[in-house]
C-alpha cells in the first residue's frame, strides 16, 4: 500500500454539546475515537493519515468547558479555554502571571487563538522521526530512530529518556507544574483528579502515550490552587525563532521569598525529557537558601545531574543549567558581569 500524506482522510465527526454526551461517545467508540480540541496537534496527525481514527469527537461546541472562574482563591480553567484567553485573562495575569507568560509564548498568535489549554497539555511529542509515521517505540514498534549513531537529535531529550528520547513540547505544562495545578479527568466511571506533574508519563512507564489520561477520559478542568497566587514567577523559553517555534528548553518557577531567603519554590523544566520535569531535588536544595548567584549556580549544576546528551543535543545541558539558574536568580545576569 502506497503512502500519501497531507490529505485528510474521511472519518465520522461528532460535535457533542455536553460533557455527558462526550463521555457517552468515548465509551461507545473506545479506542476508535479521537478527541479534538483546537485541532493543532490533531490535524497534523489526521492530515498525514498516520493516526486513523474512525470517529472524531470535536469538543468545539462544548461551552461548559470554556472560560476561567475563580473559586475561593483558586482558578478553575475549562480545558477548552484558548491559550489567548489564558494569556489575556486578568485573573491569570494578576495572580498567576507565570501561566499567562507561558501561554503567551506558545507557537504564534494564530495558534494561541485556536489552541486550547487542555490540548496544549495533552499534545503529543514533536519528535520528527515519530511524526514521520514510522514504527518507532512511541508508535508501537521497537526502535528509536532518534537515538542512533547518525540520528539528528538536536531537539531531543537529555533526561528521563527510556528507549524513546522524544521530549514534551508543551510550554504551559511546566508553568502548571510549578503552580501545583491539578487536572480533572472525567469518564463514564466518574471523576479523578491528578496533580499536574502526574498527568505526564514518561516512556519508561508508557512509551506510546504522553499522559496518564485513559482513552475514555476527558480532561475537563485545570485547577490552579491559591498556594502560589501572586508569588515570584519566572518563565523563559528558548527557541530558534521568536514565533511558530516549540521550546528547545523552557523553565518555570514559582517562588516565595522571605527577606532574601527562598522560603518555598516549585520549579519545572520542559523539552528536556519525555515529560515536563519537576526539579524536586533542586527545590529542596535551594529552599532556605539566600537568593543569590551562588544558590542560582548550585541550582543550575544540580538540575542536570544524570543528564545524558545525545549526539547533537549536548547544548541542552548548558541551556537547562543556565535557565534554571535564571529561574532561581529571577532573570538574566545583569550589570557588568565577569
Partner 1 sequence: MAEHRFIGQNYTTPDLVAKVTGKAKYAEDFRAEGMLFAKLLLSPMPHARVSRIDTSAALALPGVRAILTADDMPEPADSVDDTGRVIRANRRAERALTNEPLYEGEPILAVAADDELTAAEAVERIQIEFEPLPFAVDPLVSLRPGGPAARTEGNVWFRPPTPPAEPSQPPPPQPPIDVRDLKWTAEQFAEADEGRLPMGEVLDEWEYGDLEAGFTQAALVLDETFVTSNTSHQPMETRTSMAYWQNGRVYVHCSTQSVVQTVAAVSRWLGIPQTDIVVVSEYTGGGFGSKITSAISLVIPALLSKKANAPVMMRLTREEEQYVGRSRPSLHARIKAGFSKEGRLLALDFFGISESGPYEGGQDHNTSGRIVSLLYQPVAMRFRGLGVMSNTPPRGPQRAPGGAQGVAVMEPVLAKAADRLGIDQVAIHRINAPEGKAPIGGPLPQGGRAHVTSAFVKEALDKGRELFKWEERKARSGQRTGSSVRGIGVAVSAYSAGSIGFDGLFVIKPDGKVYIQSGIGNHGTESVIDVHRVVAEVLDVSWEKCEITWGNTGKHMPWTCVSGGSQTAHAMTRAAHATAMDARTKLQEIAAKTLGGSPASYRVAGERVSGPGGSLTLAQAAQKAIELGGKYDGHGAPENINAFTKRSVAALAGQGLLAVARDTYPRDGISNSYVAGFAEVEVDLETGQYRVLDYLAVADVGTVLHPRSVGGQIMGGSLQGIGHAMTQKWVYDQQYGVPLAKRFYQTRPATILDAPARMEWAAVDIPDPETPVGVRGVGEPPVGAGLAAVANAVADAVGHDVFRRFPVTCDVVLTSLANGRRVTDPLTANI
Partner 2 sequence: MDFLTWGINPWRQPVLTHISWDLFWASLFAGLMFLVAHASYMILAAHRKRSAEETDAMEAVYKDLPHQIERHTLMARLFHWVMAAAMFVLLLTAFLPIAGIRFAWVEWHWIAGLVLTGSIIYHVIHATFFLDFWSIWIGPKDIPELKAEILRGLGRDVPGPKPGKYPLGNRLYHMASVVVGLAAAVTGILMMSRIRTPLVPRNPYLFSDTTWGITYLLHGAAGVALVGLVIAHVYFAVRPEKWWITKGMILGWITRRDYLQHHDPDRWKLRERKAPTAAQF
| Closest separation in Å from C-beta 128 to partner 1 | 4
Residues 29-68 interacting with ligand FAD (rule: CB under 6 A): 34-42, 59
For ligand FAD, give the closer residue by CB, 114 or 287: 114
Residue 113 has φ and ψ, to the nearest 5°, of -70, -25
Give me the helix-helix angle, 293-303 and 315-329, nearest 10°. Answer: 140
Give burial (CB, 10 Å; 0-12/13-18/19+) of 73.
Answer: exposed
Task: Give CA torsion, residues 224, 113, 270, 123, to 10 deg.
Answer: 90
Phi, psi of 98 (to 5 degrees): -55, -45
**125 binding ligand FAD? (CB under 6 A):** no
What is d(CA 322, CA 15) in angstroms, rounded to the nearest whole number?
45
Assess 170 for contact with ligand FAD (CB under 6 A): yes
Q: How many Å apart are CA 157 and CA 138, to the nearest integer?
A: 14
What minimum distance in Å lies between the beta carbon of 156 and partner 2? Answer: 12
Query: Considering only residues 134, 195, 243, 332, which one is a binding residue for partner 2 as defined by CB under 8 A?
Result: 134
| Grid cell digits, residue 299 | 541550582
Q: Of partner 1, ligand FAD, partner 2, none, which one does residue 240 interact with (CB within 5 to 8 Å by kind)?
A: partner 1
255-314: which residues touch partner 2 (CB under 8 A)?
308
Residue closer to ligand FAD, measured from CB, 48 or 298: 48
Q: Per rule CB under 8 A, is residue 208 in the interface with partner 2?
A: no
Of 34, 145, 235, 246, the residue at the interface with partner 2 (CB under 8 A) is 145
By the rule CB under 6 A, 262 interacts with ligand FAD: no
Is 122 a binding residue for ligand FAD by CB under 6 A? The answer is: yes
Least gap, CB of 8 to partner 1 (angstroms): 8
Contact 81, 67 (CB under 8 A): yes
What one-character DSSP code corresponds to residue 124? P
φ, ψ for residue 135 (rounded to 5)? -85, 70
107 lines the binding site for ligand FAD (CB under 6 A): yes
User: Rounded to an integer, what is the distance from CA 62 to the centroid of its chain?
Assistant: 23
Residue number with CB closer to ligand FAD (160 or 169): 169
Q: Stretches 54-62, 141-149, 234-242, 294-302: which one binds partner 2 (CB under 8 A)?
A: 141-149
**Partner in contact with 93, chosen from partner 1, partner 2, ligand FAD, none, beta carbon below 5 to 8 Å by kind:** none
Instruction: Check residue 9 for interaction with partner 2 (CB under 8 A).
Output: no
Environment class of 239 (CB within 10 Å of its CB; exposed 0-12, middle 13-18, buried 19+): middle
Alpha helices in the chain (DSSP H): 19-29, 42-47, 83-88, 90-95, 97-104, 109-114, 117-122, 172-178, 196-199, 280-286, 293-303, 315-329
Q: Which of 53, 119, 160, 276 binds ligand FAD (CB under 6 A)?
A: 119
Q: Which residues bind partner 1 (CB under 8 A)?
A: 1-10, 49, 108, 128-129, 132, 145, 148, 150-152, 154, 238, 240-246, 248, 312-316, 318-319, 322-323, 325-326, 332-337
Contact residues: ligand FAD, CB under 6 A? 34-42, 59, 79, 106-107, 111, 115-116, 118-120, 122-124, 169-171, 213, 218-219, 244-247
Amino acid at each position: 500500500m502506497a503512502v500519501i500524506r497531507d490529505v485528510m482522510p474521511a472519518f465520522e465527526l461528532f460535535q457533542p454539546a455536553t460533557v455527558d454526551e462526550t463521555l457517552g461517545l468515548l465509551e461507545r467508540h473506545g479506542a476508535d475515537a479521537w478527541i479534538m480540541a483546537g485541532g493543532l496537534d490533531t490535524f497534523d496527525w489526521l492530515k498525514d493519515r498516520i493516526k486513523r481514527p474512525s470517529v472524531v469527537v470535536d469538543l468545539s461546541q462544548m461551552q461548559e468547558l470554556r472560560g476561567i472562574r475563580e473559586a475561593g482563591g483558586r482558578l478553575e480553567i475549562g480545558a477548552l479555554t484558548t491559550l489567548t484567553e489564558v494569556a489575556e485573562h486578568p485573573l491569570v495575569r494578576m495572580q498567576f502571571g507565570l501561566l499567562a507568560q507561558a501561554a503567551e509564548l506558545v507557537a504564534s498568535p494564530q495558534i494561541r487563538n485556536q489552541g486550547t489549554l487542555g490540548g496544549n497539555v495533552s499534545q503529543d511529542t514533536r519528535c520528527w522521526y515519530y511524526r514521520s509515521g514510522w514504527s518507532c517505540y512511541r508508535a508501537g514498534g521497537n526502535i528509536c530512530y532518534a537515538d542512533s549513531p547518525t540520528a539528528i537529535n538536536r531537539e531531543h531529550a537529555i533526561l528521563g529518556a527510556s528507549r524513546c528520547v522524544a521530549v514534551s513540547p508543551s510550554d504551559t505544562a511546566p508553568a502548571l507544574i510549578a503552580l501545583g495545578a491539578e487536572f480533572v479527568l472525567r469518564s463514564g466511571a466518574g471523576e479523578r483528579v491528578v496533580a499536574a506533574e502526574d498527568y505526564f508519563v514518561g516512556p519508561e512507564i508508557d512509551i506510546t502515550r504522553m499522559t496518564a489520561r485513559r482513552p475514555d477520559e476527558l480532561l475537563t478542568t485545570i485547577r490552579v490552587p491559591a498556594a502560589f497566587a501572586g508569588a515570584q514567577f519566572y518563565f523563559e523559553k528558548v527557541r530558534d525563532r521568536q514565533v511558530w517555534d516549540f521550546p528547545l528548553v523552557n523553565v518555570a518557577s514559582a517562588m516565595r521569598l522571605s527577606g532574601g531567603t527562598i522560603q518555598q519554590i516549585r520549579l519545572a523544566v520542559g523539552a528536556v525529557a519525555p515529560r515536563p520535569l519537576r526539579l524536586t531535588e533542586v527545590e529542596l536544595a535551594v529552599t532556605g537558601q539566600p537568593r543569590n548567584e551562588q544558590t542560582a549556580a548550585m541550582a543550575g549544576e544540580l538540575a542536570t545531574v544524570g543528564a545524558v546528551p545525545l549526539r547533537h543535543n549536548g547544548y541542552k545541558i548548558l541551556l537547562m543549567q543556565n535557565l534554571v539558574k535564571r529561574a532561581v536568580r529571577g532573570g538574566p545576569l545583569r550589570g557588568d558581569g565577569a
